[in-house]
Chain A
């Protein structure tokens, strides 16, 4: 079935640079745009970044621009989020999500991976 599985989260010291991964299966990964969305504990959803189906276009939220980089490897059906210069306010559950394709909106979500920034 269609599935997204995130990994790479954990407790990270401020200033460190972890990379999150999102493994896709059950659909043709290379034909869909992909997003990262995060949710701080007890807070609402915050859009982080998007990448087009071929990796040619990328957009970021102002809160992460210049620190985070979204990328993808269509040969490995995997989405990435390189996170640099982490701050306490980056502590959150990070979800990857697939664009619908037939309409706007994100129709498939992973279960999320938690990133806790703490010394």
Chain B
């Protein structure tokens, strides 16, 4: 059972900005400080797009940004492109289960 909850789906039009939330169930606020985000296109392996809450790995578009407030982390995609249509997963190291993924969010570009 995942400890990180994400909305099942988020949609937006090309050029718009969208935000995906990732909420932790734990009351331990020190958990989830190592939040990462992954993008997965159908039939493909996941790709790391954000690590350590807001760090963007080399080669990842600066349209992707991450943040965290309390026990909720967020991924924002600015200037939505059609190729951003994919599944997105948050994840984190935790003191209870060592590592956990979020439930996943399907992003649809209208």
A residues neighboring B (CB under 8 Å): 35, 37, 44-47, 50, 59, 61-62, 95, 97, 100, 103-107, 109-112
Of B12-20, B23-31, B73-81, B93-101, the one contacting chain A is B93-101
Bound Cα distance from A112 to B43, whole angstroms: 10
Provide the main secondary structure of the chain B interface.
Answer: strand
Asked if B104 and A61 sit within 8 Å, CB to CB, the answer is no
Partner of A100, one of B38, B48, B93: B48
CB < 8 Å A-B pair total: 66
Partner of A105, one of B36, B98, B102, B104: B36
Asked if A62 and B97 sit within 8 Å, CB to CB, the answer is yes
CB distance from A103 to the nearest CB of B (A): 4
Asked if B51 and A46 sit within 8 Å, CB to CB, the answer is no
Q: Mark B33-45, 1 if CB is under 8 A from A, else 0.
A: 0101010100001
Asked if B101 and A106 sit within 8 Å, CB to CB, the answer is no
Asked if B52 and A45 sit within 8 Å, CB to CB, the answer is no
Bound Cα distance from A25 to B47, whole angstroms: 18
A-B CB contact pairs (8 Å), 27 listed: A37-B46, A44-B2, A44-B87, A44-B101, A44-B102, A45-B46, A45-B101, A45-B104, A47-B101, A59-B98, A61-B97, A61-B99, A97-B46, A100-B48, A103-B52, A103-B57, A104-B36, A104-B51, A105-B34, A105-B36, A105-B50, A105-B57, A106-B36, A107-B51, A109-B47, A111-B45, A112-B45
